[in-house]
Structure 1
Amino acid sequence: MSVFDGLSQFHFLRPWALCLIVPFAVLVISKLYSDNQQSRWIKRLPPHLANALLLKKKRWTSQLPLKLLAVIGLLAVIIVSGPTWYRQASPFAEDASPLIVVLDVSETMLEKDVPPSRLFMAKQKIRQLLKEHRTTGSSALVIYSGSAHIASPLTQDRSVFAPILDSTSLEVMPRKGKFAQYTIPVFNQLLKDQPQSGTVLLVTDDLNLPAVESYRRYFQSSSHQLLVYGVGRTGEYGPFSLNEKVLKDVASSANGRYVSMEVDNSDLQKINRYIETHQSLTSDSAQPWVDVGYYLIWPVLLAYLMWFRRGWLVQWLWGGLIILPIILPNTAEANSWNMMDVFLTKDQQGRWLFEHDEPLQAGNTFSDSHWKAYSFYIGGEYKKSQQYYLLDDTLPGHLGLAASLAHQREYVAARRQYEEILKRYPDNLDAKNNLDLMKRIIVQIDQFTESQTGNTERQNSRELEQQPKTSDGVEQQVDQEQLVEKKLMADELLSDPQVHERWMRRVQGDLANFMASKFATQLERGVATQEFWNEDAN
């Protein structure tokens, strides 16, 4: 529940008890008046005698016990009135609220700061969440990179997710990128016909600015809950560390919650607890309101105990000294702060560094993904610039991505990127000229490869730390007569574990091919790159 929701539901269970403030206020005012009457004779003393006979007290300490008594009385009246702003969920209620898992399948998810990779660990966590913690309610899986697709619709069958997650990889995605904003129309289509409010679990390591704004707009006008699950590590663990600040900001602005990946199951337990808390029950009237006033008893008792003791101000001072280190920022937060943050934003600091010939330092300082990509590109860090250009779904972003690929000798991938640019922007001269250049380079490399005797190996494309694909290579022909089709019987599958494992690999391969074909068709039809503009969210 957000702060605004809590304020809108705030009320008193026993509002009639607030009337006790009136006689208590009369008592305090009469006491003040009585003290003033008794001190009238002091004004008649000569000034030199008054200074010698009377103790000088600071104004704020005068009648301090009476002021403390007034605070205690006010808190006591509030306790009796029974303040509340949320209901207590019934332990017998069934969680039937839908869960939509949105998984990032972009290239940064292949980082190995969380071994063996972020994507692998994210899929393991999702599988464990659905199998061990999510015991009721329907669930769905949406995956995205440069486009967004439904990998599994809403279902209560948990067993269907294991083969789908095993087949989920970068190879099934028809378009490179990192555009989470395209997932909103996809999961909104799944949630709009549901009778109860649902939860969207976004599993990623970073978001671009359009995605942050889209998620904020959608969930601020929606009854659904957003949980952001950060995958990876912060700090200098790799070229693309977990951008925890952006993920926390989008969770906060979208009235959601942020959860970071942990080694144990505490993160999954926290996610499941948030889902259960958010669930929509059939009848809200069956849930009793929680009387929060009881929690105010402890500060009342503490203040009351100190009220009649001598030197209680000193006791409060020592208590403040004990609490002060707790509220101060920790060392990590203090080290990340610098004096320039008071005067300039991160983008302004980055622009100053960029203009003073410090592109790499500027790239690490910018918060804008486009400027980060451009700074790393100018500084020669083409791998980093490629990843940040994947966050920019504009013409400059696509051109920068293609140029970064070309500088990494990924000529085939760069050619493909320029071809995609020309499909969307057919009149762009930069894309046309660079596409011709990529084609000439690839032809020259092919000719050089053919001239090398004994070289029959085909060059591989770099997907998982392989060598870059600089040319189309020489295709190897396979005699169809050498291909043998083996039919597997049911008794073999059940009796022989090796045969069963070979059959499962074939099924997963067929599923991956099916997903790749389906997603490519959706991309061609334009349904996988739509943005959400309708404000009437459920």
Structure 2
Amino acid sequence: MSDLPLYLEAFHFLRPLWLLLIPLVLLMWWWVRRPARRSAMSTEGIAPHLREALTVGRAQRRRLTPIDSTAAILILGALGAAGPSWSRQPDPFAAQSAPAVIVLAVTPGMEATDLPPSRLERGKQKIRDFLELRAGARTALVAYAGSAHVVLPMTEDAQVMVPYLEGLSPEIMPREGTVAGEALALAEAMLAEEGAPGGILFVTDALDPADVAALDASAAPLAVLSTRPEGSRDRGLDALSAPVIAVTPDPSDIRRLDGLLNAAYRRAQLDDVDQPWEDRAHWLAWPAAVILLLWFRRGWTMRWVVIAALGLMAVPQGARAEGVADWFLTPDQQGRIAYDRRQYARAAELFVDPLRRGHALYRSGQYEAAVEVLDRVETAQAAFIQGLAEIKGHNYRDGVRAFEAALARDPDYPGAAENLATATRIVAYVEAAQEASDTGEDQGIGADEEVYDNESGQGEETEREAGSEGGGGLLTADQWMNTVDTRTEDFLRLRFALEAAQPPQSANTAAPAGSTPAAPEEPAEEGGK
């Protein structure tokens, strides 16, 4: 309901001249329905009940007639032809949800079990539901207690965040306390680097009153998911003017939070003049079809309906539609409906067009399949999506080649040149990290065997087998995550301790000493969105 005022403000007709037909339809309806002009009949000497029975047409004028339904259908048709619209056509390369930073309080108070299984675990469950609802949207994770840390920067892959989320507990936080203001500063800095307005979601059971002013002054839309049990109060949360949503057993709290955080993003979408308005005329076809059913009354019309139904039943088995949707919509139209509902895997099954199918596969995380399907299409757009899929699948060299192909097909394709430069930096980073770690043989990373995409210099792949003895010094972030017997919480504990011991450098996480060069950002989707 929070979007209703915005949509009402944006409502307009794309072809308003068609509305001129409505007065003509109303005039025709009045002409047909007007009382017949007859000379007054002398009723003197006739009993009232007999006069009522002898008057022809009076009851007919009071009930619904064919001209009423005809006029209603024509008016709906005129409204549909005028093109009602209140939203822009969704950009297939842009997420339909605002960028968001999730800020999770990881304090001892969050381990209370008055909200089973605990306040912290319930908050993690709600964050996973939030990620699932926002499939494909850019999301980051910040954790705070006595210090605030970027757990994971902006990413479109929700599955990457899950192991980091599970590894968070008060035991790994280097300091005790509740510095929500510092966490807010980190979140605002990350949102400032995004190309679209985003929001901040705090998941906490309490708020220090000293931080209330900072949260209320946030320029980004902010909402709080309270993990307190029903009936309990907190002074800081009560003083906050930003929306505070209590945890519910069903997903209603998550849907409400998503709507609150998306308000500014949807307004920005409406203001995007590069995207055409979406024609909503098809919505009026359904009430017109319902009104048309009034014509199917007792008589010959009904007999024709029975014959048509028998004809449909006589269709050979091989030509019978699989479902009601197949009677009215093509597979590509059904696929677009599933895509708009963020059911990307279902959309990939429905799409016939290889370009649309490949993009749906990419959105659902099936990167190899997306690349294979898009090989059928020799356009810059197909090569661009292939490049994104190759990067997501960690095939960085192939990603560079795909972006080069996109530029060869269309030198001005939006975002291709920028993503080619980013993919090239990623390849350089991977090779520099590999060289810095000396293939990991003297540090005992613990993986059985790995193959890196290293074509620099000799263009050969590098294989390594894990050593049995660990080397000295701190391991890099990549080496920690590649260690088979290392838990995520151990990695986070060490990283947070290193960050807490260093002066703050920027909104992004500072790399530990002796680590590999800072990893470049992932390539952006078309238009930098």
| TM-score between the two structures when normalised by the length of structure 1 | 0.42
TM-score, length-normalised on structure 2?
0.43
Q: Which has the higher contact order (CA 8 A, sep 6+)?
A: 1
